[in-house]
A = this chain, B = another copy of it.
Amino acid sequence: MSEATKERVRAAAEQLGYAGPDPRAASLRRGRSGIVGVLLEDRLADAFRDPINIAMLDGIAEETGAVGAGLLLLTESGTELANVTAAPMDAAILIACSTRLDESVARLRQRGLPLVAIEADDIDGVLAIGLDNREATARGAQHLRELGHSRVAVVALPIETGGASGPLPRDWDERATSFTALERLRGARDVFGSFDGWIADGSTIEAGYEAAMALLSSERIPRPTAIIAQSDLVAIGVIRAARQLRLSVPEDLSVLGFDGIDIAEEYELTTLVQPAQLKGRAAGRAVVELLAGGFPEPVGFTCELRIGATTGPAPS
């Protein structure tokens, strides 16, 4: 096209007040909107309070951003089911969703969207990005056992959406719908058989504090010598509760975390370090491949046990 013509077109567009090609029309015709949905279980503030989720999201953004796709945040709460149905996205990434029963996931599948799930049950047609939650927790538990601990308690992440915090029910294996929490519980059981536990209100320091207070000052159950926390934030809360109760860590109480977030290093937390950003990147890359018509393989990541200063020999 000649430069003069270009200019003439530009001028005409200007005069007519043409605001540029309408993305809506383009996406209808092309069948692509350039949007990848990210479905989060929690409400936004909760989801982003945990550095793990942020790292994952960042990994996702890195890969999807590279092909010019935007990230649409979707939460399952309330009226937003409409959102899941009506959002013009090309694919979706499910983060920590209870995929088994969930209605929104069903809708997404029904729409025929390529789906990638991070840490979820295997589902037909949904590409899984996994983490060895169970084995990793077992490894951490084994570490505690080797230190002589036998009376351990678990502070679990919420095991079902909308569930309240409180003592971990005996039948958690049947009741839990949150995949990650469930797998980590199983890992603890693999080593210790049965144990007491408390469900925290989320992956936050405060929730960990509350839970540990309940566990450590209960008259109903004997005080554990070690606590397996299902996240580092929770573990930090546990440590604070112990301090509050004048228990020293690790002399009186050993604390095991999960995640390996930055702040855990300051506390010299013994924890299971997971590659959160890589997980996100893998999910992002999988989505990109799926959209390009490829057939990406499921990916599984493993955690590394990092021994810090919060676990020690069981008190005699």
Q: Which A residues contact B (CB, under 8 angstroms)?
A: 19-28, 31, 33-35, 37, 43-45, 48-49, 51, 54-55, 57-58, 61, 65-66, 68-75, 77-80, 82-83, 85-89, 107, 110-112
Contacts and interface: CB of A to CB of B under 8 A. Distances in A.
Taken together, the copies of this chain in the complex come to 2
Nearest to A27: B24
Nearest to A53: B48
A68 B80 contact: yes
Contact of A110 (B20, B73, B78): B20
A82 B34 CA distance: 10
B61 A57 contact: no
A105 to B, nearest CB: 14
Given A66-B79, A88-B88, A111 B20 contact: yes
B82 A61 contact: no
A23 B73 contact: no
A26 B83 CA distance: 13
Nearest to A83: B70
B44 A58 contact: yes
